[in-house]
Structure 1
Amino acid sequence: MSTKLNSVIFIHGLWIHATAWQPWLDLFTERGYAVSAPGWPGDGDTVTETRDNADALNDIGIEDIVNHYVEIIDAGGKHQAKPVVIGHSFGGLIAQELLAAGHVAAAVAIDPAPIKGVKALPLAQLRSAFPVLGNPANRHRTVALNAKQFRYAFGNTLTEQESDELHDKWTIPGPGRPLFEDATANFHRDSPAKVDTHLIDRGPLLLTSGTEDHTVPLKVTKEVYGLYEKGGSDTEFREFDGRGHSLTIDAGWRDVADVALEWLARKGF
């Protein structure tokens, strides 16, 4: 397969600022990729700016985020090769939507938020989302995780010190609306979390999961993979043993990045 000159766009998930992708940007740049990590609509340029203006993210939903990245991609011009996207958590859901709609050439979804059709709802996932879903008013406002909540949802496989350091360095408030939209996806025909898993004529997709993830447990991502398998699309699945939801930002991030690089190279990107 011939090598294509595709840029790589990194998409963060809830509660983590886009600048947390910097080690990935440096690594992929070293490997010859043109890279970028634009934030969600409403994000500030830095963690501090986003924390100080959290209301800018109020009522931002899945469709708003998808459209935001479509505009970024379209701004690159039709003469350029379609980019590849790598997304974590809700960024992984956004990556799948961009792939299914034909906006990108390939996608890596790391511990992605579940798409419509997934029925598994493990207790750990409910507990991780409770700081938002526990109050219906949070649908329209922005919510931050405290260090203890972050440690359960993201840092459960880390030392308390590493988890708290990551919380202090990278966390930002996140809009509650995407979580409510995802939690009720199976009750709405036109849910913004709906993805066509039966498409054959689309680029390849890599789904990954940390086996100890609390926010998006392994069982959930395996069910997503099963939906794609039924459709016969070019979809692969990879587990990271003993890893939690922090796997893109903790000390072991390079293991995950290397898998993404190897997969992209094998697919011809």
Structure 2
Amino acid sequence: MHIAIIGGTDVQEPSNPRIVASPAPQRRTATARSETPQAADTIVLIHGFWVTPRSWEHWKVHYEEQGYRVRTPAYPGLESEVEALRKDPTPIEQLTVSAIINHLEQQVSELDRPPIIMGHSAGGAFTQVLLGRGYGSAGIAISSAPTDGITVVPLSQITSSSPIIENPANRHRALSLTAQQWQEIFTNTMTEQESIALYERYHVPANGAMIWGSAFANVHTGHHDTYVDYSNSSRAPLLFISGRRDPLFPPKIADSNAAHYESDVITEVVEFDGPHLLTAAPNWRTIADFALAWALNPVAGNTGHPGTIYPSP
């Protein structure tokens, strides 16, 4: 497993000797396909909590313009538009993690060839589960929530969940973030005006029980819904993309998650400068092109940027 950090030219070199700051890579269009007959022709984009498939709207168009079929499956029952879910969050209240994973598994199993699977936040954890079950030609976990067994839980995650934790009754409700909470958790690197625009465009309530479960998943013993067999040597290659200033799932979460994989299947971590909502950050095109280029050619150490890559311990 390798790790690299990618940021702007104004980023100072970190003290950690295995991470080197470097200029942002050139924008990659990834128009050239692999000549392999079964090269992926479909990209599946999986959203996280507090948003819907609309949060992928720019990535979807971007990839479709390059000739790919793009699927952005909603969680079961969340096929409505953002505005409708805000008015009636009943479908959100009825969600379970197992139902989401089963629904996503059905979606990808219907494809005629393995797709590239990308997921953001909770969608990153679901991407790992799908890869572990044998789906996908490559997986990209962006600002990923940790899968089962990852014990590095940052204070920021507990803080963001505090309204639910403080009131156990919230486990049975659909809970919204305020505009201020949204900026603190999702868009902390953006201006207030930019953050509010994204809040109004993408935010929906989240299922209280699932947020509660994710906050305390590793306190309870036994396997959970996001269990992954980290020794599975038949899964597809996996790339973690972290936001350097992500307060919810900071880079150490991806580092720990990636380190749990014990097989010799390619597993890498890269870090871009940005917030939790990397999918809507100003540099989203660079990240999207980088993710696709890596997925098309997931060779160990192939992070496709001019910086130095050091093997992690």
1:215 is aligned, of 227, 236, 248, to: 248
1:148 is aligned, of 155, 165, 180, to: 180
**Structure 1 stretch 164-173 or stretch 39-48: which is displaced more?**
39-48
Letter in 2 for 1:247: L
Q: Indicate conservation of the 8 Å contact 2:95/2:207, yes or no.
A: yes
Deviation at 1:87, TM superposition (A): 0.5
Deviation at 1:139, TM superposition (A): 2.1
Q: Indicate conservation of the 8 Å contact 1:85/1:107, yes or no.
A: yes
Letter in 2 for 1:189: G
Secondary structure at 2:269 match in 1: strand
2:63 is aligned, of 28, 32, 35, to: 28
Indicate the residue corresponding to 1:50 in structure 2.
85
Q: Indicate conservation of the 8 Å contact 2:161/2:215, yes or no.
A: no
Letter in 2 for 1:96: Q
The percentage of aligned residue pairs carrying the same residue is: 35
Indicate the residue corresponding to 1:65 in structure 2.
100
Residues 8-44 of structure 1: CA distance to partner in whole angstroms, max 9, x if unpaired?
1111001112112111011111222110112111214
Name whichever structure is richer in helix by fraction: 1
Letter in 2 for 1:53: D
Letter in 1 for 2:84: E
Unpaired segments ≥5 residues, structure 2: 1-33, 300-313
Indicate the residue corresponding to 1:248 in structure 2.
279
Indicate the residue corresponding to 1:197 in structure 2.
230
Output the CA distance in 1 between the equivalents of 2:146 and 2:166.
19
Output the CA distance in 1 between the equivalents of 2:58 and 2:267.
26
Q: Indicate conservation of the 8 Å contact 1:209/1:217, yes or no.
A: yes
Residues 64-86 of structure 1: CA distance to partner in whole angstroms, max 9, x if unpaired?
1100111222334xxx1022211
2:197 is aligned, of 158, 165, 169, to: 165
Secondary structure at 2:260 match in 1: helix
Deviation at 1:5, TM superposition (A): 3.3
Task: Say if 2:114 is the partner of 1:82.
Answer: yes
Residues 138-197 of structure 1: CA distance to partner in whole angstroms, max 9, x if unpaired?
222211111011011111111111111111111111112222222232223121121111
Deviation at 1:2, TM superposition (A): 4.1
1:10 is aligned, of 45, 49, 54, to: 45
Deviation at 1:129, TM superposition (A): 2.2
Secondary structure at 2:278 match in 1: coil
Task: Say if 2:125 is the partner of 1:93.
Answer: yes
Counterparts of 1:108-127 in structure 2, within 5 Å, are: 108-127=140-159
Output the CA distance in 1 between the equivalents of 2:165 and 2:99.
20
TM-score w.r.t. the length of structure 2 is: 0.79
TM-score w.r.t. the length of structure 1 is: 0.92
Output the CA distance in 2 between the equivalents of 1:178 and 1:90.
10
Task: Say if 2:136 is the partner of 1:104.
Answer: yes
CA 1:46–1:162: 2 relative to 1, 3 Å: same
Q: For CA contacts below 8 A with separation 6 or more, give which structure has more relative contact order.
A: 2
Q: Indicate conservation of the 8 Å contact 2:148/2:226, yes or no.
A: yes
Q: Indicate conservation of the 8 Å contact 1:139/1:180, yes or no.
A: yes
Task: Say if 2:248 is the partner of 1:224.
Answer: no
Letter in 2 for 1:74: S
Q: Indicate conservation of the 8 Å contact 2:176/2:204, yes or no.
A: yes
Output the CA distance in 2 between the equivalents of 1:54 and 1:26.
28
Deviation at 1:61, TM superposition (A): 2.0
Letter in 1 for 2:290: V
Rg (Cα) greater in structure: 2
Residues 79-135 of structure 1: CA distance to partner in whole angstroms, max 9, x if unpaired?
x10222110000000110011001322211101111122121221221122233332
Task: Say if 2:262 is the partner of 1:258.
Answer: no
Residues 183-221 of structure 1: CA distance to partner in whole angstroms, max 9, x if unpaired?
232223121121111111111111111011011111111
Indicate the residue corresponding to 2:29 in structure 1.
none
